[in-house]
């Protein structure tokens, strides 16, 4: 998931590589315990669940750079949801990755979230970035999408 230097968002490429590595490891752990995304869009429909999505600045950097600011539609769904699919899937934040629709896995959700959030924070600090952890749906001044290599 490395980015070409000419189109990289305003964080060091090594930080994005580490973010991608963290996401890959989480995805491997989810697969190992049998968690699968059914592409039902439930996790992206904030009008149907009592869920507030947060993300770090490191997680948001590639999303805002390539796709623009996250926002909710008038119906209360994430604007990155299209035809039941996440259009930012490779870069979707940690909170999206550990939203489990299957109740059999709900108990693991928070443990995985906190374990990988600590890793994201450590990566942020390792790359001398400020730890900024806020609601995912917020305003980003001057954010307009750039061409994505994905």
Q: Which of 104, 16, 129 is nearest to 64 (CA)?
A: 16
**Which pLDDT score is estimated for 3?**
39
Give the burial class of 84: count Cβ atoms within 10 A of its Cβ; 0-12 exposed, 13-18 middle, 19 or more buried: exposed
pLDDT single digits (tens) 72-126: 999 989 999 998 889 999 999 999 998 877 777 777 888 999 999 999 999 999 9
Q: What is the pTM of this model?
A: 0.81
């Amino acid at each position: 998931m490395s980015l070409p230097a000419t189109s990289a968002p305003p964080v060091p490429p090594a930080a994005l590589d580490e973010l991608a590595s963290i996401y890959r490891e989480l995805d491997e752990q989810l697969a190992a315990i049998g968690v699968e995304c059914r592409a039902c869009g439930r996790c992206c429909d904030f009008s149907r669940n009592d869920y507030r999505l947060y993300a770090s600045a490191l997680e948001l950097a590639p999303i805002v750079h390539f796709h623009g600011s996250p926002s909710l539609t008038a119906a209360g769904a994430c604007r990155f949801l299209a035809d039941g699919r996440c259009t930012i899937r490779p870069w979707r934040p940690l909170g999206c990755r550990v939203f489990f629709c299957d109740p059999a896995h709900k108990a693991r959700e928070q443990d995985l979230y906190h374990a990988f959030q600590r890793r994201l924070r450590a990566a942020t600090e390792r790359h001398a970035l400020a730890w900024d952890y806020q609601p995912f749906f917020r305003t980003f001044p001057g954010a307009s999408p750039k061409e994505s290599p994905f």
